[in-house]
Amino acid sequence: METWHAEMWLDDTDTVDTYRRVWATLHGSAVFGPQAQQLISRARRGLTF
C-alpha cells in the first residue's frame, strides 16, 4: 500500500481484510462517466473564491 509519503508492507490477514472492506465501500460509492461529471460540476459551482 502507498501513502502520500511512504510505502507500507501490510500482509497480515486482518489488515488485508480491512483494506478489502474499505476498498469495496469506496468502490460501491464511486460514480463514473456522466454521473461523475455532474458531481464535479455541482462541486465546482459550490466553490466560492
- Look-up: residue for cell 460540476? 41
- As given in the structure block, the three cell numbers for residue 33 are 462517466
1-49 pLDDT tens trace:
666 777 878 889 999 999 899 999 999 999 999 999 999 999 999 998 7
| Gap between the Cα atoms of 29 and 49, Å rounded | 29
Q: What does the pLDDT read at residue 1?
A: 60
Q: What does the pLDDT read at residue 2?
A: 62
pTM summary value: 0.57
Q: What does the pLDDT read at residue 37?
A: 97
What does 2-49 look like in DSSP terms, one character per residue? B-SS-B----SHHHHHHHHHHHHHHHHH---HHHHHHHHHHHHHH---
- As given in the structure block, the three cell numbers for residue 42 are 455541482
